[in-house]
């Protein structure tokens, strides 16, 4: 069997994702679709609106064959590290190709990478905080800047794939409909995740019906929709009681930012107000949300970097095709394979994902990890 890989968040799964899933098999002729999906905490530094098990079920209903969790130590990182974690998992699982959405799929991402050979070093130097500086360096080297989120992520996939041996054939497809950050819903078939989440939180079900599968709409209507506001009291407590010395150790914390966070937390009454007070030209909202995520979840830079050197395959769900493919490749896996978190794993190998799942449970109210087994979709 041949497999095509997708790296996703499905926050929540909408018609654009459905198109992506359909096109992946059509364009590659693969037998199995392997989806690497972020868990309950996402790349933009926010909690998923629906928990990972609900989103796994929606992915299987939409046509995914095998769903693997992208661990939190990659899922909440800047684009180059998010891409590296996903590409590493797809490579370990023996996928032949990676299909991804891009605003400009006609760009020659491979040529851009070849013309910018120090791309990996530039990522280390500039990181996500300095996207403007990175793009300036890229444009100087190649004459091309990547100003759209999915184009940049596509470039990161190419860099990660080259670093890991170039096993995957990368296939960009045109992102359908709204821009990544477009917060407007229209009568069209496609809408951005941002607009869909905003509409769901306002219970605009009639407006959502044309742009999401029926199964997604039902879950949005019947489940608690998780957002940063739910966690603000817990984050606020951390900000007020954690020493600045301890705060300085958290993942992605820039030097001096811990003092600003502590100061602005004193009078903040909501997460939104807090971000607005901390925001400056130096820090994007996304960067600040990722730092807030690390602080809330108590993720230090040291333990995140240590965990990134020990990636693993955590299975969230599969159908018969996915189960057959997993059986085919598991004897050759270069990474550990886990189907549930037991007492040993929660204390050691999977300690970070278990910890962040427990925090999500404070709002979600449902066990996210301990003894949870993969979802099985019968054909």
The domain ranges of the chain are 3-107+146-182+309-376, 228-304
DSSP-based three-state secondary structure for 124: helix
Per-residue pLDDT at 132 = 66
Task: Answer whether residue 155 shows pLDDT above 60.
Answer: yes
Per-residue pLDDT at 105 = 87
Per-residue pLDDT at 120 = 52
pLDDT digits (tens, 9 = 90+) for 72-108: 999 999 999 999 999 999 999 999 999 999 888 888 8
- The packing angle between helices 214-222 and 52-62, to 10°, is 160
CA–CA distance from 231 to each of 5, 227, 360, 363 (Å)? 33, 8, 9, 8
Task: Answer whether residue 179 shows pLDDT above 80.
Answer: no
pTM listed for this prediction = 0.93
Please state which of the ranges 184-193, 290-299, 348-357 shows the lowest mean pLDDT.
Answer: 184-193
284's tokens: 């994007």
Per-residue pLDDT at 149 = 84
Residue of higher predicted confidence among 184 and 172: 172
Per-residue pLDDT at 185 = 76
Neighbours of 373 (CB within 10 A): 10
**Distance separating alpha carbons of residues 86 and 195, to the nearest angstrom:** 25
**Distance separating alpha carbons of residues 168 and 95, to the nearest angstrom:** 7
308's tokens: 């990134």
Per-residue pLDDT at 97 = 98
Binding residues: 7-20, 101, 150, 175
Binding residues for ATP: 7-20, 101, 150, 175
The CATH superfamily of 3-107+146-182+309-376 is HUPs (3.40.50.620)
Q: Across-strand partners of 318?
A: 66, 376
């Amino acid at each position: 069997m041949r497999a095509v890989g997708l790296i996703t968040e499905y926050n929540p799964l909408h018609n654009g994702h459905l198109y992506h899933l359909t096109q992946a098999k059509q364009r590659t002729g693969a037998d199995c679709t392997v989806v690497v999906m972020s868990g309950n905490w996402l790349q933009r530094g926010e909690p998923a609106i629906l928990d990972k098990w609900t989103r796994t079920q929606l992915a299987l209903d939409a046509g995914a064959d095998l769903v693997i969790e992208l661990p939190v130590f990659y899922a909440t990182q800047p684009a180059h590290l998010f891409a590296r974690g996903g590409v590493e998992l797809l490579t370990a699982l023996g996928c032949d190709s990676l299909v991804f959405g891009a605003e400009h799929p006609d760009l020659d991402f491979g040529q851009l990478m070849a013309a910018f050979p120090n791309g990996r070093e530039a990522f280390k130097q500039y990181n996500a905080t300095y996207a403007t500086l990175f793009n300036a360096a890229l444009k100087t080297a190649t004459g091309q800047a990547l100003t759209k989120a999915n184009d940049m992520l596509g470039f990161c996939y190419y860099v990660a794939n080259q670093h890991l041996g170039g096993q995957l054939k990368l296939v960009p497809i045109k992102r359908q409909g709204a821009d990544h950050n477009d917060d407007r819903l229209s009568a069209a078939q496609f809408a951005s995740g941002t607009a869909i989440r905003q509409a769901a939180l306002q219970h605009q079900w009639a407006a959502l019906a044309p742009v999401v599968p029926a199964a997604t709409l039902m879950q949005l209507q019947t489940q608690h929709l998780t957002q940063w506001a739910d966690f603000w009291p817990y984050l606020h407590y951390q900000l007020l009681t954690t020493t600045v010395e301890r705060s300085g150790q958290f993942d992605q914390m820039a030097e001096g930012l811990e003092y600003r966070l502590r100061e602005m937390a004193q009078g903040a009454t909501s997460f939104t107000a807090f971000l607005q007070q901390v925001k400056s030209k130096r820090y994007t909202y996304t960067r600040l949300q990722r730092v807030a995520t690390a602080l809330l979840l108590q993720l230090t830079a040291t333990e995140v970097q240590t965990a990134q050197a020990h990636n693993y395959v955590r299975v969230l769900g599969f159908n018969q095709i996915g189960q057959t493919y997993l059986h085919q490749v598991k004897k050759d896996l270069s990474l550990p394979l886990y189907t549930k978190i037991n007492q040993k794993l929660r204390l050691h190998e999977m300690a970070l994902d278990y910890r962040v799942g427990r925090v999500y449970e404070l709002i979600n109210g449902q066990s996210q990890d301990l003894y949870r087994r993969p979802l099985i979709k019968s054909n």
